[in-house]
Amino acid sequence: MLTSDDLLVIGAAIVRAVRRIITHSENMEGLYSNRNKSYYSNGSSRALREERGMNLSFVRGTTKPHSIAWARQALSMGVGYCDEVSGVATYLGSMLNPPEEPVYISTIYFPGHVFCLIHQSQYLHRLWQGAGLVAKDLKDLSQNKELKNAIIVDPWIYKATKLSNYRKHIEHAESYGVGGCYSGGINSYAYSEELRGNKALTPEERKILREFDKAYQDEVKKLSDHQSSFAKGKSFLSVKRGLADELTRREQLKDLKLFIERMASKSSSWYSGWGHSDTKGERYKELIECIEVAIKQYMNVNDAGLIDIFNKALQLALIVRGKSAPKTLSNGNLQMTKTAKGLLDPGVVTKNTYKFERIPAMRLDHIRSIQFRSYLTDREKYIELVQYIRERGVCPELCNLYSSEGKSASYKAVTDLVNRSQEEHSLEFYD
């Protein structure tokens, strides 16, 4: 039999991996004191799940196939109720390489809360694949001889704990203001998996496995070094701070999308007509869709990613369509594009700052200052704008704004950026 520490390493890593993908629980009321909860929903959990594309046509947890389907949806959509994060934890368990001895992870529940148990009882694993009473309470469960080394795996409160130490687990729940959910009889959720190394198929599954591997190695080191942070879980305050950061980033993503939409709207409508190529417009659409994925699926894009998207949008604005470069090209005879001129419109670069401008490299103050220099002609303002964008390292050669090779390189740079946010590459792009 494996030791409880061996299983706790696995349990702690599962909790961390699940919470890297599904960062917050919208039904954890204490997180939202003095905060607008509309980040997660528009008044009801059903509206939230419909917004995220969750299929509500089946009853979750009634059978193993339903539980697996629900866990996959929760993993894909980033939903965070206790039953969903527990379902994802159990599903993740099925993908883990088998230890030297059989290990199982089972989903069980109180009347008011769903959690998981890692254990080595084949008898209980089989029994818990059906519905039924498991124990009168946690104390009763901890006294089951089949569960001497069992681990409570509870992603809802960011914690894995030895079952024998269940009182400490309840104390942790109380620090989140949800201790009352941990009372009453415990029943089987009819979903139990053996750790047997099922192949991950989707980018989301491969991403959560990657997060588990990193967390597992970290927890192993903490255990071997006797660190006090081993399997410590996350405090309520640290989770609340993380939520504040996530809300800030979400607002920055929304504002960046709005800014690019406004910029793209200034492009010449002629190229979007029938029979015309609108490569520039298509690249703007790709950038907008890249941001929409992060917004809809509650994914994070780090500062470097936001800056890259921002710079690519500025680079596209300067591209000249349908014109040949003058023999001697300079700022003075550079063709003014409608998209770039739109940046000098207060309806695009507004008087009020966008939220993404909290990132210093994305400030638009210089463009605002150009807008309000009434002593400059439109061309002089445009020259200043081009110089500002070029100083950012975007399109340093003016000839690249006209030449097929230069424009193709700019368009390809956008496509390459967007490709990094899709399929397998999204494992790295979205933090």
DSSP 325: P
List beta partners, residue 114.
109
CA–CA gap between residue 23 and residue 60 (Å, rounded): 21
What confidence tens digit (pLDDT) does each residue in 86-122 have? 999 999 999 999 999 999 999 999 999 999 999 999 9
Do 108 and 166 meet the contact criterion of CB atoms below 8 Å apart?
Answer: no
Of residues 7, 26, 6, the one with CA closest to residue 85? 26
Whether residue 347 has pLDDT greater than 80: yes
For residue 56, how many other CB atoms are within 10 A of its CB? 11
Question: What pLDDT does 42 receive?
Answer: 36
Q: Cα torsion at 331, 332, 336, 340 (round to 10°)?
A: 40
CA–CA gap between residue 47 and residue 54 (Å, rounded): 10
The label of the residue with tokens 């519905």 reads 131
Work out the percent of the chain whose per-residue pLDDT is above 90.
55
What confidence tens digit (pLDDT) does each residue in 402-411 have? 777 888 888 8
Do 402 and 326 meet the contact criterion of CB atoms below 8 Å apart?
Answer: no
Do 115 and 135 meet the contact criterion of CB atoms below 8 Å apart?
Answer: no
CA–CA gap between residue 362 and residue 311 (Å, rounded): 9
What values do phi and psi take at 69, rounded to 5? -60, -40
Domain ranges of the chain: 4-234, 241-429
User: What are 300-306's contacts with CB under 8 Å, separation 24+?
Assistant: 300/246, 300/249, 300/430, 300/431, 301/249, 301/253, 301/429, 301/430, 301/431, 302/431, 303/359, 303/361, 305/429, 305/431, 306/252, 306/253, 306/256, 306/356, 306/359, 306/362
Q: Is the pTM of this model over 0.75?
A: yes
DSSP SS3 for 190? strand
Do 110 and 185 meet the contact criterion of CB atoms below 8 Å apart?
Answer: yes
Q: Compute the residue count for the chain.
A: 431
Higher pLDDT, 57 or 160: 160
Higher pLDDT, 338 or 392: 338
- The tally of CA atoms less than 13 A away on the side-chain side of residue 414 is 29
Do 416 and 410 meet the contact criterion of CB atoms below 8 Å apart?
Answer: no
41 pLDDT band, cuts 50/70/90, is very low
